[in-house]
Amino acid sequence: MTSGASTEAAAGATTVLVIEDEATLVASLAYNFRKHGYTVVTATDGVEGLQAARRVRPDVVVLDLMLPRMDGMEVCRRLRADSDVPILMLTAKGEEFDRVMGLEMGADDYLTKPFSMRELIARVRALLRRAAPRATAREDALIEAGAMAIDPRGRTVRNAGAEVAVKPKEFDLLLFLARNAGKAFTREQLLERVWGYQFFGGSRTVDVHMRWLREKLEDDPAHPQHLLTVRGVGYKFVL
Ligand code: CA
């Protein structure tokens, strides 16, 4: 079994992320989704799947319940912590799957194997239709905090009208905190969410990026108004 996520997300197309460890099913799902015009990204275990989701930001996720390294429930729970992406869970007959629990974890729908491709595609389409307005509105909306304006679509930040040059990871960190304004995160959580599950750079990386962001965006970096330290926890963003 080959592990590793394939990345071929193209601009414009609807991207479906398939997280499934059964090779023949992955091939069949990928073939059928592509036939219907979707861009397909695949991952064959839970950890790879989570990384792929954070990297390519798919429009919809098809997620198997029983997966190596991290099971589907856990992947679902973690995805939900920072994303509204519609999730369709795949379960096998006989697998212990509590439907209510699955939906509570944040899955939007589920399908029991074996299923027909026609049924799966129809379900995915329904999820996309339901999700479209909500996702677009939230993902693309300009976030304003004092004199600061963060544009997720253009990946730009303005301060008092002037564009501020920020590095990609600084932007990712800023956007993540701003989208979750008011909520405190530990350095470890920020490393996982912004840098990815298997980043080993250490928590100082977060401190350094916060310092840079404050220097670039706060009027008085020593007394920040938006990018705040939460003593004993980590950081939070205040609008
Ligand atoms: Ca499986």
> Could you tell me the CATH number of the domain that includes residue 88?
3.40.50.2300
Tell me, yes or no, whether 28 and 123 share the same domain. yes
Any domain includes 6: no
> Strand, coil or helix: what is 114?
coil
- Residue 54 CA to ligand 1 centre (angstroms): 21
Parent domain of 181:
143-237
Tell me, yes or no, whether 26 and 110 share the same domain. yes
Report how many domains make up the chain: 2
> Strand, coil or helix: what is 228?
strand
Mean pLDDT value across the chain: 86
- Residue 202 CA to ligand 1 centre (angstroms): 33
How confident is the model at residue 3, as a pLDDT? 40
Residues at Cβ < 5 Å from ligand 1 ion: 21, 64, 66
CATH code (residue 201): 1.10.10.10
Q: Which helix (H) or strand (E) holds 63?
A: strand 60-64
Tell me, yes or no, whether 40 and 113 share the same domain. yes
Tell me, yes or no, whether 185 and 223 share the same domain. yes
- Residue 125 CA to ligand 1 centre (angstroms): 23
Tell me, yes or no, whether 82 and 160 share the same domain. no
Which of 87, 108, 139 is the last residue before a domain boundary?
A: 139
- Residue 72 CA to ligand 1 centre (angstroms): 9
64 strand-pairing partners? 90
How many CB atoms lie under 10 A from the CB of residue 88?
Answer: 19
- Residue 143 CA to ligand 1 centre (angstroms): 39
Beta carbons of 41 and 17 less than 8 angstroms apart:
yes
- Residue 93 CA to ligand 1 centre (angstroms): 11
Any domain includes 52: yes
- Residue 21 CA to ligand 1 centre (angstroms): 5
How confident is the model at residue 192, as a pLDDT? 77
- Residue 190 CA to ligand 1 centre (angstroms): 29
9, pLDDT greater than 50: no
- Residue 101 CA to ligand 1 centre (angstroms): 18
- Residue 29 CA to ligand 1 centre (angstroms): 14
Any domain includes 155: yes
User: pLDDT grade, residue 181 (50/70/90)?
Assistant: confident
| Single-letter residue type at 31 | Y
Which of 84, 105, 139 is the last residue before a domain boundary?
A: 139
How confident is the model at residue 101, as a pLDDT? 67
- Residue 128 CA to ligand 1 centre (angstroms): 24
Average pLDDT over residues 6-12: 44
- 81-126, pLDDT tens digit by residue? 888 899 999 988 666 666 666 677 778 888 989 899 999 999 999 8
Average pLDDT over residues 148-161: 92
Give this prediction's pTM.
0.55
Tell me, yes or no, whether 189 and 126 share the same domain. no
How confident is the model at residue 198, as a pLDDT? 58
> Strand, coil or helix: what is 17?
strand
Tell me, yes or no, whether 68 and 160 share the same domain. no
- Residue 180 CA to ligand 1 centre (angstroms): 33
Phi and psi at residue 226, to the nearest 5°: -120, -45
Tell me, yes or no, whether 68 and 113 share the same domain. yes
- Residue 107 CA to ligand 1 centre (angstroms): 16
- Residue 69 CA to ligand 1 centre (angstroms): 11
Phi and psi at residue 228, to the nearest 5°: -100, 150
Count CA atoms within 13 Å of residue 1 on its CB side.
14
How many CB atoms lie under 10 A from the CB of residue 231?
Answer: 7
Any domain includes 8: no
Any domain includes 53: yes
Which of 119, 139, 159 is the last residue before a domain boundary?
A: 139
User: pLDDT grade, residue 153 (50/70/90)?
Assistant: confident
- Residue 135 CA to ligand 1 centre (angstroms): 28
Any domain includes 1: no
User: pLDDT grade, residue 2 (50/70/90)?
Assistant: very low
Tell me, yes or no, whether 61 and 103 share the same domain. yes
Higher pLDDT, residue 192 or 93: 192
| Single-letter residue type at 15 | T
CA distances from 105 to 47, 79, 98 (A): 17, 10, 10
Beta carbons of 18 and 33 less than 8 angstroms apart:
yes
CA distances from 84 to 40, 106, 138, 148 (A): 19, 9, 9, 25
User: pLDDT grade, residue 175 (50/70/90)?
Assistant: very high
Tell me, yes or no, whether 185 and 155 share the same domain. yes
Any domain includes 74: yes
Any domain includes 4: no
